[in-house]
Amino acid sequence: MNPVYKSGFSIANYHNVSDIYRQIEGLISQPIRPIHREEMEAYLQNFEKKYASSKPVIEQAMQYIPGGVQHNLAFNYPFPIVFDRAEGAYLYDKDGNRHIDFLQAGGPTVLGSNYPAVKEKILHLIEHTGPSTGLFHEYELKIARFICEHMPGVDMFRMLGSGTEACMAAIRVARLATGKKNIIKMGGGYHGWSDSLVYALRIPGTAGFDAHGIPRASRKYTQEAFPNDIKSLERRLRRNKLTGKGTAAVIVEPMGTESGTRPVDFEHNRQIRELCDRYGALLIFDEVVTAFRIGISGAQGYFGVKPDLTVFGKVVAGGYPAAGGLGGSRDLMEYLAAGLQTGKKRAMVGGTMAANPLSSAAGYYTLMEIKKQGACEKAGAAGDRLTQGLQKMISSMDLPFVAYNQGSICHLETTGTMFLPINMKKFWTIPKTLKEIKIRKHMMEEMGAAYMMEGIVTLAGSRMYTSMADTDEVIDEALEGFERVFKKMI
């Protein structure tokens, strides 16, 4: 069932989920269709020239930084680019090339980069207080109150240093509150890199496949259900009940794993809520991406489903450092009270830089501005324009691609898609699948490089976040860039 239009949200029309999965099935069954070799070679040659000043810096960085860059999202092919200016919809590199920014620092900048009204407040704060004191600053109250007033499932809010930390805190509180240990996540989902949550990453069904350097014991109580498959979740919950061990929590990204890359039916979250209630498990919404991007009341406001605990990150500090937090009902959040309370069990959390004045103020003013400017709706309209433009081109050029979006979160899956299933039970098929994944991953790296050459920064060539700064002109310019790339594939 599709919802009626709700104002104030990034999503105007909820997509048809079965149609998207059907199209993606079609992609998986096809051989890859990359950019024509000679055209790609030309891009790569020109890449060297266009980004001539970046290359020597990265070569030096390779000596001092593992892999040459500090941030997972900065691993661009054929080499990372040094960016030194960000403004509104654009990013500028060391050679002065202008790019349309659909990476958005991984999602936090719904207002566009370096939004002036927030920057001014931060500059004033730096002059007056500096970035941190370790003591209480009134901005902590301001941001907590704002979040509690706008997020349906949040009566109290604890600010932390990152989404990873906030996910750790969420499962700790859930285990303390329920007395159970098992945590169920959706296969393929990312909830940060803590020992117990590096489990079934990217590809559903892969369990501890990626958990290198993590003792088996750390993920003993982590389980996975399949994305958008309510029956697989119920099977897990039932099994946990029958063994007498129960389930502490189900943690999900409400738009679907990996920022909605694997989308969910509109009713899916409500069904999860019902199952959690029936089996006595807490429901944790990981809204690291969706909170204040889908709407000021998050995906929970959009779907009308109240989780027990909500994880925050990214937009909660408006693109400034130390972005994380946990919210929930008063009884649960009191497990996180600061200071030692003799005789009362509490979930230990901390962080020298957690809720520093800079992050608190940046988050507070960002949220105020998002609300005041209607930024979620504007960013969502830009995402719709981008996706519809891509869909039109895909259809007119008859390309084996799928474009879909949840407002300002846009996905462009090609034959380089990572939707390949790995069958862990048929272990003899794994090497062949891994080889296939490597080939597809390389195609995506090339796609990312081609978009970059056309002045568009994407997330791994397959995801684009739009912001309020993306006017119709910006989106149309981006579509022209995509078109130039697509023409090299027909």
Ligand X SMILES: Cc1ncc(COP(=O)(O)O)c(C=O)c1O
Is residue 369 within the footprint of ligand X (CB under 6 A)? no
- Looking at the Cβ atoms of 170 and 393, the one nearer to ligand X is 170
- Looking at the Cβ atoms of 99 and 463, the one nearer to ligand X is 463
Residue among 169, 249, 289, 294 that touches ligand X (CB under 6 A): 289
Residue among 253, 377, 413, 454 that touches ligand X (CB under 6 A): 253
Restricted to residues 267-286, the positions that interact with ligand X (CB under 6 A) are 286
Q: What's the min distance (Å) between Cβ of 164 and ligand X?
A: 3
Query: Which one of the spans 89-97, 185-193, 201-209, 405-413 is the region binding ligand X (CB under 6 A)?
Result: 185-193
- Looking at the Cβ atoms of 167 and 309, the one nearer to ligand X is 167
Is residue 256 within the footprint of ligand X (CB under 6 A)? no
Restricted to residues 143-182, the positions that interact with ligand X (CB under 6 A) are 162-164, 167
Residue among 318, 324, 383, 416 that touches ligand X (CB under 6 A): 324
Is residue 264 within the footprint of ligand X (CB under 6 A)? no
- Looking at the Cβ atoms of 13 and 72, the one nearer to ligand X is 72
Cβ-closest residue to ligand X? Answer: 163
Is residue 261 within the footprint of ligand X (CB under 6 A)? no
Number of residues in contact with ligand X under rule CB under 6 A: 15
Restricted to residues 73-112, the positions that interact with ligand X (CB under 6 A) are 106
SS (H, E, C) the chain: CCCCCCCCECCCCCCCHHHHHHHHHHHHCCCCCCCCHHHHHHHHHHHHHHCCCHHHHHHHHHHHCHHHCCCHHHCCCCCCCCEEEEEECEEEECCCCEEEECCHHHCCCCCCECCHHHHHHHHHHHHHCCCCCCCCCHHHHHHHHHHHHHCCCCCEEEEECCHHHHHHHHHHHHHHHHCCCCEEEECECCCCCCCCCCCCECCCCCCCCCCCCCCHHHHCCEEEECCCCHHHHHHHHHHHHHCCCCCCEEEECCCEHHHHCEECCCCHHHHHHHHHHHHCCEEEEECCCCECCCECCHHHHHHCCCCCEEEEEHHHHCCCCCCEEEEECHHHHHHHCCCCCCCCCCCCCCCCCCCCHHHHHHHHHHHHHHHHHCHHHHHHHHHHHHHHHHHHHHHHCCCCCEEEEECCEEEEECCCCCCCCCCCCCHHHHHHHHHHHHHHHHHHHHHHHHHHHCCEECECCCEEECCCCCCHHHHHHHHHHHHHHHCCCC
Is residue 191 within the footprint of ligand X (CB under 6 A)? yes
Query: Which one of the spans 178-186, 187-195, 334-342, 470-478 is the region binding ligand X (CB under 6 A)?
Result: 187-195
- Looking at the Cβ atoms of 104 and 417, the one nearer to ligand X is 104
- Looking at the Cβ atoms of 279 and 312, the one nearer to ligand X is 312
Is residue 240 within the footprint of ligand X (CB under 6 A)? no
Is residue 377 within the footprint of ligand X (CB under 6 A)? no
Restricted to residues 442-481, the positions that interact with ligand X (CB under 6 A) are none
Q: Which residues bind ligand X (CB under 6 A)?
A: 106, 162-164, 167, 190-192, 253, 286, 288-289, 313, 323-324
